[in-house]
Amino acid sequence: MISPGSAIGVLGGGQLGRMLAHAATRMGYRLHVFEPQENCPAGEVASREFNFEYREVERLKEFARGCAAVTYEFENVPVKPLWEIEEIVPLRPHWEVLETCQNRAREKNWLQRHGFPVVPFAEVAAGEDLSQAIRKVGMPAVVKTADFGYDGKGQVKVRTPAEVAEAVKAFAGQRAVVERFIDFKCELSVIVARNPQGEIRTFPVAENIHTRHILDFSIVPARIDPAVQREAAELAVNIADAFGLVGLLAVELFLDSDGRLAVNEMAPRTHNSGHWTLDGCVTSQFEQQVRAIAGLPLGDTAMTVPAAVMVNILGNVWKGQGKEPIGSPNWSGLLSHPRAKLHLYGKSQPRAARKMGHFTLTGEDVATVFKSARALKTGLRSP
């Protein structure tokens, strides 16, 4: 067990690291951040900050020597430098989990090899014929870069021969994955934690609504059959066991119109769709991440409210985005609701599609809370 008072390291300095720092500090731990960019959200609240490129191995080793364990707050960390520090400090999750999750082809092959459901897909190596892979999978299809995609970046839907030609041009020379587009009923996610002793807990299943590929709302409990909720949680547990996970893993799922689940993507860290746990759970996902990587008993994941809805706040709600935005969102309107909880990430420059914060609304039933959350979101925009 890693006792309070020790330092936990996190690779990445975004908002997930910031909220992890809040949880770690409250529990008596110190948080050290390794992040190439200065003035990052996590660094602002961390005990120590290292601003170097991940490939600066000697700096990374210095960082590792000061930590009792190291985790991640985003998955786009190069794996090769981690080979140099795994003898110095425990990596939780292990770099092999990170490597699997940061490449869509590896991820889907790993899932398929271990018997987990995925949508039909085909791999395309750099320079190979993308159109042939699309024909194999069938249209409509979704073409995605194999490496380092998030929030819809690096992916395009193809439905016509003209769109196939555009995709072939756009993805020329890149490794890609082609997935069959499925008629899904909804998108779900399960966050699962596993500690070194093998104890596992899942958080309640979230129903996620995306707008332009970016998460807009997370609704809990998900508006699906309880049996499907149990199946989704069981999938996440089995995946965590198959990985030998130590830490947190977010498992994103499709539920199709026939009631079948398929794993879409995984992230070896806390997740945007789990932010509601800060205000609606006995244990937040960030405290659970600390507990899991420190070898502590895992916390209770029961909801403390009947319903919760998390809403992302993007830079679009500021009037005039850039270095000198005009005005600010209608915070007073949002906070006039007595059950609205605002979380801002310390980012100074609002930009379209940039995640600046979120708010969570809780209440007695999902339908009422979701309706109120949508109204509060609409009222946020600068006058």
Tens of pLDDT, residues 205-244: 999 999 988 999 999 999 999 999 999 999 999 999 999 9
Q: Are 246 and 195 in contact (CB under 8 A)?
A: yes
What pTM was estimated for this model as a whole?
0.94
Which of 132, 148, 180 is the endpoint of a domain? Answer: 180
Task: Note whether 153 and 230 are same-domain residues.
Answer: no
Assess if residue 22 is contained within a domain. yes
> Lowest-confidence range among 1-10, 48-57, 151-160, 236-245?
151-160
pLDDT at 383: 63
Assess if residue 101 is contained within a domain. no
Assess if residue 154 is contained within a domain. yes
Phi, psi of 180 (to 5 degrees): -70, 135
For residue 321, pLDDT over 60 is answered with no
Measured distance CA(35)–CA(29) in Å, rounded: 19
Assess if residue 30 is contained within a domain. yes
Cα dihedral 203/209/215/220 (nearest 10)? -20
Task: Note whether 197 and 341 are same-domain residues.
Answer: yes
First CA to last CA distance, the chain: 52
239-241-247 Cα angle (round to 5): 90
**DSSP notation for 75-91:** S-S-SHHHHTTTTTS-B
**DSSP notation for 157-194:** EE-SHHHHHHHHHHTTTS-EEEEE---EEEEEEEEEEE
